[in-house]
Amino acid sequence: MSELIINKYIINASIEEILTKVKSELTNGKLSYFKQKGDEIKVTCPHHNGGIEKNPDCYINTSKSGDLEYGYCHCFACGFSGRLSKFIGECFDEDETFGENWLTRNFGQSLITYEDDELYDFNLFQENNLSHSNETNKLNETILDTYQSWHPYLAKRGLSKGVCEKFKVKYDPSCECIIFPVWDENDKLYMLTKRSVKSKLFFIDTNKEKPLYLYNVVKKNNINEVTIVESQINCLTLWTWGIPSVALFGTGTKHQFDILNKSNIIHYYLCFDGDSAGDKGTARFLKNIRDDVFVDIILLPRGKDVNDLTENEFNNLKIISSDEWLRRDK
């Protein structure tokens, strides 16, 4: 299924499913006919003749290839054209804004995106599409067997096959995304996140509390010195270099700090991105972490994250204490 994104929501349904829902709600006689024809759906045009036609000549594109946008409609009889949201608005005798709101209300799943490595909290996944175990909010690990084990994108990002196999990083060709399994602190599969290999879109289920990526490995192996980063890619980069790391999916939440403050970790190296958000994340971490642990800060170049550097460049970065960082922050 191709992706239709409206106002920071991904529409998690096929166009045929959407049209079926529209038709079930209409009371004005419009949308009396629609049928798949190759890469298009032939429909009655809602814009002329009161939406009633004997020979419909309106089409909605259902292919993500070609010149037309996915979900774009055009009527060859009257010239009406526009996005699916405009088409739906017309079906209800309303405008395009109504159509957008109808789509997001009925089928919208918010999504999370890393765009230029900035984190925005939106949601993608519908949990009922995933295989659950009997434990509440846990997934059955057999779902990982349905994905491919490797994609060249991982090598492009500098990740080793050994590390990706160790942490069961997969590839889903149906959506052209890398699949990252995420376990909770009790080593139970908690969620799957996705990273597109074609764009900078990153998807996560925000109906759940953000876990700590690979903290389960740290806990299981009783590792007490850990580097904290924002993203899973940065975390896997450090593990590729032999450096135990945990990712926060951003710069930390109360839930994550509660877990860390109960852990056996006694020394943290903070390595948030070299930008203002990273600076704020460092300040938040120092404010929320318990005061009987050591915290040092790895100073990344401005505008860079771990994955932008070579292993040698990373090893030569300056490291300062939390006290020194707080003094210079003032």
Q: Which CATH number do you get for residue 76? A: 3.90.580.10
User: What pLDDT shows up at residue 3?
Assistant: 63
- Structural tokens at position 322: 């939390």
Are residues 80 and 126 located together in one domain of the fold?
no
Helix (H) or strand (E) holding 245: strand 245-247
As a whole number of Å, the CA-based R_g of the chain is 24
User: What pLDDT shows up at residue 4?
Assistant: 75
User: What pLDDT shows up at residue 124?
Assistant: 39
* Positions in the chain whose pLDDT score sits under 50: 1-2, 112-136
Please identify which residue in the block is written with the tokens 């052209």.
Answer: 176
Residue where a domain terminates, one of 110, 138, 165: 110
Are residues 85 and 196 located together in one domain of the fold?
no
Are residues 104 and 245 located together in one domain of the fold?
no
Are residues 125 and 258 located together in one domain of the fold?
yes
What is the tens place of the pLDDT at every residue in 105-135?
888 865 544 433 433 333 333 333 444 444 4
User: What pLDDT shows up at residue 65?
Assistant: 52
Are residues 293 and 272 located together in one domain of the fold?
yes
Separation of alpha carbons 271 and 266, rounded Å: 16
User: What pLDDT shows up at residue 202?
Assistant: 80
Residue where a domain terminates, one of 110, 142, 174: 110
Strand partners, 219: none
Are residues 100 and 125 located together in one domain of the fold?
no
Q: What is the CATH number of the domain that holds 125?
A: 3.40.1360.10
Are residues 320 and 182 located together in one domain of the fold?
yes
User: What pLDDT shows up at residue 66?
Assistant: 54
Separation of alpha carbons 142 and 160, rounded Å: 23
Q: How many domains does the structure of the chain reveal?
A: 2
Residue where a domain terminates, one of 65, 80, 110: 110
User: What pLDDT shows up at residue 135?
Assistant: 45
Helix (H) or strand (E) holding 41: strand 40-43
Are residues 81 and 197 located together in one domain of the fold?
no
Domain extent, residue 41, equals: 4-110
Separation of alpha carbons 36 and 42, rounded Å: 6
Are residues 152 and 204 located together in one domain of the fold?
yes
User: What pLDDT shows up at residue 55?
Assistant: 86
Sign of CA dihedral 92, 98, 102, 103: positive
Are residues 174 and 279 located together in one domain of the fold?
yes
Are residues 287 and 202 located together in one domain of the fold?
yes
Separation of alpha carbons 109 and 125, rounded Å: 7
Are residues 172 and 63 located together in one domain of the fold?
no
The residue type at 55: N
